[in-house]
A and B are shown apart, each in its own frame.
Chain A
């Protein structure tokens, strides 16, 4: 069953703590993306990766970090430098390359601050 999985569904962060959100896909897609969703707003791009071992900052990368060591995995770390991390985080992937940019989304992780 092909798709994108995100875990955990809910995540709680304490002050000063780094937390990592998991995103895995078995669609054999080259490109992967992380978005943040706040209530009443559209999605904003945090980081994206068009190929393994390469990634670029999106519009709101400050306070976040990523890695892309494997094609199927693109974990996002929310660091203590991110002062307002409470949000819904969505991972997406696409085949990659021109004309193959349609993005498919995972179920999301809701991050809450204790």
Chain B
């Protein structure tokens, strides 16, 4: 099956950019997603990219996809305290979403 790996923790200063990285194993993945989870809440869809794209920008969020290396990243510009959360990378094959373990982002003043 699909393996999705993420680093577990990221600490960033308020106002700086955050970059969260993800690697996956199945090159036939169609869509790749980033979800945000705040404490005690469900997952909020942040953005996604189709596998034939290499970049997508949506306001403060930039997604980069390197299909050759099976590497996905999420850049958050001008990180704010409200961006503190767990971020999940998820990869779609057919109907099935495979999730990474999540990256806990802590924003410090």
Contacts and interface: CB of A to CB of B under 8 A. Distances in A.
A106 B35 CA distance: 13
Given A41-B101, A42-B88, A90 B95 contact: no
Given A101-B31, A105-B35, A42 B4 contact: yes
B68 interface: no
Nearest to A107: B42
- The residue in A45, A48, A103, A108 that gathers the most chain B C-beta atoms within 10 A of its C-beta is A103
B36 to A, nearest CB: 11
Nearest to B4: A42
A43 B99 contact: yes
Q: How large is the interface on A (under 10, 10 to 19, 20 to 34, 35 or more residues)?
A: 20 to 34
A82 to B, nearest CB: 20
Contacts of B4: 42
Contacts, number: 53
Task: Tell me the dominant secondary structure on chain B's binding face.
Answer: strand
Q: Taking chain A's interface residues, is the majority helix, strand, or loop, or is none over half, making it mixed?
A: strand
Contacts of B100: 42
A105 B31 CA distance: 17
Given A42-B4, A43-B88, A50-B95, A90 B101 contact: no
Interface string A82-109: 0000000010100000000111111110
Contacts of A31: 95
A16 interface: no
Contacts of B1: 59
Given A105-B42, A106-B42, A42 B99 contact: yes
A7 to B, nearest CB: 13
Nearest to B88: A42
Interface string B41-52: 111110010000
Nearest to A33: B97
A40 interface: yes
A11 B7 CA distance: 31
B72 to A, nearest CB: 14
Interface of A: 4, 6, 31, 40-45, 48, 50, 58-59, 90, 92, 101-108, 110
